[in-house]
Structure 1
Amino acid sequence: MNKIYISCCVLSMSLIGSLSYAQTKFQPQDTEFYTPVLRTVTTTENKAPSDAIVLFDGSNLNQWVSSNNVKEQAPWKVQNNVLTSTPKTGNIQTKENFEDFQLHVEWKSPEVIKGEGQGRGNSGIFLQGQYELQVLDNNNNPTYVNGQAGSIYKQQPPLVTATKPAGQWHTYDVLYTAPRFNADGVLIKKGIVTVLHNGVVVQYNTQIEGTTEYIGLPKTLVHGPGPIVLQDHGDLVDFRNIWIRRL
């Protein structure tokens, strides 16, 4: 047998033995770390997490302003702990701006069914004021799939249609990473969103291509942190229990 081959085999066995021996020298604590100390977040059923910013808890609209005039208080109605979009008053938006976040919103379409397609229970939740997550009555209401409830409007249809009987509350839980632009205003990373509709994943790491236009293709607008906007689309849509956590 070739002496060089034998020498290589001996060397390989020696290295394997050394690595195995080195591996056995590790102790459990060698791969454990205790800093940084993590902050504690407490949760209570049907309430926002302890570190969340409560945007609407049923009592008032102190966290909201009119999108038509951000110096004015939001003109929508609050009654029986529910916020209802008021037709012809315009959109409302948060006073604060956000970038990466976890958002929780509960919404309900009008109990009296009127209209069809995009004309039934239509509203929307705009992330950073730019990118619309569609709100729509989707019970036996055919429309274009990239405009139904759970869609990123006119861009990405939901993975499935998540429905509930008429008159029941829907939930959206949104995980959002904002787009990033460099110092020259060049887009270097597109926004990403994951959405759970009634606990069902309907958007999963979906890339946002730009603004959600009613007519035409998405546009790339340079921006930083932006508000959460609720849309007045002319329908009576109810909202409650809205909170957000910065990530």
Structure 2
Amino acid sequence: MKFSFISLLCVMLFCSLESAAQKKGSSHAISLHALTEFEPTTSNWKLVKSVSFSPTSDQKSFEPGEGILLALPVKPDTGHLFTKMQHSDLELEFDFAVAKQSNSGVYLQGRYEVQIFDSWGVEKPAFYDCGGIYQRWDESRSPKKGFEGNAPTQNACKEPGAWQHFKIKFQAPRFDKNGQKTANAKFIRVELNGVTVQENVDVTGPTRSAAFEDERALGPIMFQGDHGPVAIQNIRYCFL
């Protein structure tokens, strides 16, 4: 009887560990039939079933429905979109389209930004171009308040209005038992339209316009909604 009880405990522990491992490595698609996987937001974010941005002008159109997130910021409704999910190490993929000269971004843990921007035709991309790791900002620094930031290795951006694809592998900052940071956040790899544009880039703290100024082990995905029209679909993530 004693042996059977110990065996049962071992089986339960094994199953529990196996379940946790499956959860850690499994892929999840965020449903865009409603906004239930996101925190409440302002009306600049809506669900549509189709969207069109002109590659040569500011003309745009959309059809109400489901399946695509669309941000159309109009003051005062310029809020950002946050997932209810909080993450540590993560692999994130999604498709996006921007209007001509539009600007947005995706923030891992709400703190570290990969830039979304209409960089079509740019010969020498900077940190603020599409696929760039945005710079940090410190009002007390003089004379240059902006610092760090990492330009994409090349411009892999498509023309405005075209659907594009990001694949981002992110490593969260590490902390000891006293809450002291022992390792910076890191973008292990950023792929834009199948091209690796960032690799093993440390980020020493939250980038400019982050939702949070501190650093923690967990945080939400944030899509920036205050700069210009952007459409997002096919969002998937995997805990690493």
TM-score, structure 1 as length reference: 0.67
In the TM superposition, 1:79-94 aligns within 5 A as 79-80=48-49, 81-87=67-73, 88-94=77-83
1:226 aligns with 2:200: no
1:123 alignment partner, SS class: strand
CA distance in 1 between counterparts of 2:71 and 2:153 reads: 27
1:51 aligns with 2:26: yes
In the TM superposition, 1:1-247 aligns within 5 A as 51-56=26-31, 58-66=32-40, 76-80=45-49, 81-87=67-73, 88-110=77-99, 113=100, 120-140=101-121, 145-154=126-135, 155-193=149-187, 194-213=189-208, 221-247=214-240
Structure 1 residue runs of 4+, over 4 Å off? 36-41, 141-144
* Displacement of 1:66: 3.4
Partner residue of 1:21?
A: none
* Displacement of 1:143: 9.0
Identical residues among aligned pairs (%): 27
CA distance in 2 between counterparts of 1:126 and 1:66 reads: 17
CA distance in 1 between counterparts of 2:217 and 2:21 reads: 28
CA distance in 2 between counterparts of 1:60 and 1:227 reads: 18
* Displacement of 1:233: 2.4
Q: Report the AA paired with residue 39 of structure 2.
A: V
* Displacement of 1:210: 1.2
**Structure 1 residues 103 and 164, CA, compared in 2 at 3 Å: closer, same or farther?**
same
The one-character-per-residue Cα deviations of 1:23-78 (angstroms, maximum 9, x if unpaired) are xxxxxxxxxxxxx999999xxxxxxxx9322224x42211111368xxxxx86111
Task: Determine if contact 1:185/1:222 at 8 Å carries over to the other structure.
Answer: no
1:157 alignment partner, SS class: coil
* Displacement of 1:135: 0.4
TM-score, structure 2 as length reference: 0.69
Partner residue of 1:71?
A: none
Question: How many residue pairs were aligned?
Answer: 187
What residue ranges of structure 1 are gaps of 5+ in the alignment?
A: 1-35, 42-49, 69-73, 114-119
Q: Report the AA paired with residue 69 of structure 2.
A: L
CA distance in 1 between counterparts of 2:105 and 2:217 reads: 21
CA distance in 1 between counterparts of 2:125 and 2:226 reads: 17
What residue ranges of structure 2 are gaps of 5+ in the alignment?
A: 1-16, 50-66, 136-148
* Displacement of 1:167: 2.0
**Structure 1 residues 229 and 143, CA, compared in 2 at 3 Å: closer, same or farther?**
farther
**Structure 1 residues 75 and 233, CA, compared in 2 at 3 Å: closer, same or farther?**
closer
Q: Report the AA paired with residue 125 of structure 1.
A: V
Partner residue of 2:4?
A: none
Task: Determine if contact 1:181/1:222 at 8 Å carries over to the other structure.
Answer: no
Q: Cα RMSD (Å) of the superposition?
A: 2.9
**Structure 1 residues 93 and 38, CA, compared in 2 at 3 Å: closer, same or farther?**
closer
**Structure 1 residues 165 and 54, CA, compared in 2 at 3 Å: closer, same or farther?**
same
**Structure 1 residues 222 and 211, CA, compared in 2 at 3 Å: closer, same or farther?**
closer
